[in-house]
Amino acid sequence: MGSSRVPRIAITPMLSLSFFLIIIWLASSPVQAAPVVDVGGAEVELTDFQVGYFTGDARLLDYEAVREQTFEASGNIAPVGTGLQATWYRIALHNSGTDEKQLYLHLPQAYQIRSIEVFEERADKLIGQTHVDLNDASNHPLMHLGTVIYPFSVPVGETTVFYVYSQLYSHHYFAAEVFDLKHSREAVSRGGLDIAVLAGMLLALVFYNCLLFLASRKQENILYSLYLVSGLIWISLSYGLISRVFNAYGDSVFILNLSGFTILIFLLLFMMAIFETRRFYPTEHRFLQGMLAVIVAGFCYGLIDLIAMLEVISSLVALTMVVTSLVSVSLLLKGNPLIKFFLIGHLFFVLFNGLAMMYYKGIAEPNYFNSHGVVLGIVLEALMLAFIISYRIRVLEKIRSQQAELKRQAATDPLTAVFNRRYFMVEGEQMARQAASKGEPTSVIAVDIDNFKTVNDTYGHQAGDRVLIEVAEIFRKISRDQDLISRFGGEEFMILLPGTDKSEAQDYAERIRGSVEQHVTAAGNGVSVRVTVSAGIAEMIAASESLEKALSRADNALYEAKAAGRNQVRCAP
């Protein structure tokens, strides 16, 4: 009995140790986490399935070595984040159908990657492979509008496994889709349509604001256009529009990522210009200047090492959004009338770019709003900035209109709406000099309503005012556009006629005299008033006479007409 207990005691720790070693062995054994995807259906259109990825020492491993590694499960559309130089992906496809499948592996984000290698195996044997260097991809047979399309087949009851090696620039995007021939053609033809529409909207805004700049020469218009151009370049690059339109890839196109910095630069400059921060908000202006200096420094360093700067650009974007938001809130509290509209647009920019930054860093799950966050944020903010520019133009036009009205009021007689004496003397002198420079004559007419005091005394001042208004209207109807009519005071008017000699002026004055004589003014309460006018004419001596002297001579001729019995026209010698 005693001897039988000894083996039992000895075996128990041995079994425990053996079990522990088995657990360690199982944990250390390579496990392919990505499940096998079935492609045995009648039609194949796989746009949402599981793959495996490996990021450890991916750059140092070849195909044979990476097959022994443990792959983590991921979706077929997966941003892995920054700081990676290479990634391996594993895709397993099994045909459970009754017919061999002729399929196409699509890698639609290929245009963003430095190089791609695809290894195809079946039954643990390599049966096909390809390498696409993006610096030499324009004529590669598998590159179609920015998408690598790899044709393959899966026999009945068998499994095809792909190992895809992706060498990166900075931010890493991966997308894989599997189609049959019909759906492959559809995917290629429809890809990028939404981005093309949004880019077209930005391009239209660029042309519109360039025209505004040519018309107004406002700094904010050209800064807004440059902001739009930067956004257009970045969107076209990041979402494959450049690759689809120009069939361009690799390092020469990668440099266009600098537009990510210029978007921020021109946004900050636009804020300074549209809100006039230098003039009205010096504290906020210094904050914007400081942020601008940081972004410009990043841009300059990006010219040397763009990959390093792209790894931190998302942080710069986040910092810029914080600074611009704080400045906007400060301007709102200080009562800036435009900032509320900017805040609405900037809220879209901050929201969608925040989603995009999390997506690029591999934090947020991939979906349309996350993956398209930057383009949506830029477009929505661009539309609101366009509204701000239009609103500001309307405000400025209203101010100009008010200023023009004030000038008009300052230059015109409030009762008769013809020009007043001060305006007549300044403008008339200039018009006379212009006519003299052309060798043209200029005449002036002094007109006075006869016995106007009697009208006021007999019918009242309201009737007298009515007479003045209608007499001035007669002057306007008879005069030309270039003639200058002025009420000098009381019932006396002065008319300047550029390009008119004394004889023509006399005919003009006679038409006035006759029209007034025939006119009847309805003064109210059934009262009708008739008046006459007397006029004196003087042709200016262009070489030596001032307007004031010519008016004095015309006034003397007017007195002669009055002395001769009124309702007459006289010419000065």
pLDDT tens across 199-208, in order?
777 787 778 7
How would you classify residue 130: left for phi > 0, otherwise alpha for psi between -120 and 50, otherwise beta?
beta
Q: For residue 13, is pLDDT > 60?
A: no
**Residue-level length of the chain:** 573
Residue 560 bears catalytic tag: no
Strands (E) located in 95-158: 101-107, 115-122, 125-133, 143-144, 147-154
**Distances in whole angstroms, Cα of residue 275 to Cα of each of 263, 327, 382, 383:** 18, 11, 16, 17
Q: What is the mean pLDDT of the chain?
A: 82
- Give the torsion sign (CA, 302, 308, 309, 311): positive
Please give the residue that has the higher pLDDT: either 456 or 192. Answer: 456
239 contacts: CB under 8 Å, gap ≥ 6: 192, 195, 372, 375
Asked if residue 534 lies in contact with residue 556, where contact means CB atoms within 8 angstroms, the answer is no
Confidence at residue 56, expressed as pLDDT on a 0 to 100 scale: 72
Q: Which pLDDT band, with edges at 50, 70 and 90, does 247 fall under?
A: confident
Asked if residue 265 lies in contact with residue 297, where contact means CB atoms within 8 angstroms, the answer is no
- Give the torsion sign (CA, 398, 403, 407, 410): positive
Residue pointed to by tokens 């900037």: 346
Q: Which pLDDT band, with edges at 50, 70 and 90, does 109 fall under?
A: confident
Confidence at residue 474, expressed as pLDDT on a 0 to 100 scale: 92
41-99 tens-digit pLDDT: 888 999 888 898 887 776 778 888 888 888 888 888 766 555 567 888 999 999 998 89
The model carries a pTM of 0.64
d(CA 117, CA 335): 58
d(CA 372, CA 443): 73
Strand partners, 118: 130, 164
Confidence at residue 210, expressed as pLDDT on a 0 to 100 scale: 77
Percent of the chain clearing pLDDT 90 (strictly above)? 30
Identify the CA nearest to 357 among candidates 294, 313, 303, 412: 313
Averaged pLDDT, 492-506: 91
Specify the DSSP element, H or E, that contains 210: helix 193-216
Q: For residue 237, is pLDDT > 70?
A: yes
d(CA 476, CA 489): 17
Confidence at residue 370, expressed as pLDDT on a 0 to 100 scale: 65
d(CA 420, CA 423): 6
* Residue 545 in tokens: 């006479």
Least confident of 56-60, 131-135, 310-314, 538-542: 56-60
Q: For residue 27, is pLDDT > 90?
A: no
Q: Could you count the other beta carbons within 10 Å of the beta carbon of residue 475?
A: 22
Confidence at residue 84, expressed as pLDDT on a 0 to 100 scale: 65
Identify the CA nearest to 249 among candidates 109, 373, 151: 109
Identify the CA nearest to 252 among candidates 264, 263, 237, 266: 237
| Helices and strands, counts by H and E, the chain | 20, 20
Residue pointed to by tokens 């435009």: 338
395-424 tens-digit pLDDT: 777 777 777 777 777 788 888 888 898 888
Asked if residue 117 lies in contact with residue 62, where contact means CB atoms within 8 angstroms, the answer is no
* Residue 63 in tokens: 């195909």
515 contacts: CB under 8 Å, gap ≥ 6: 474, 477, 478
Instruction: Given the residues 220, 381, 470, 491, select the one marked as catalytic.
Output: 491
Q: Could you count the other beta carbons within 10 Å of the beta carbon of residue 180?
A: 18
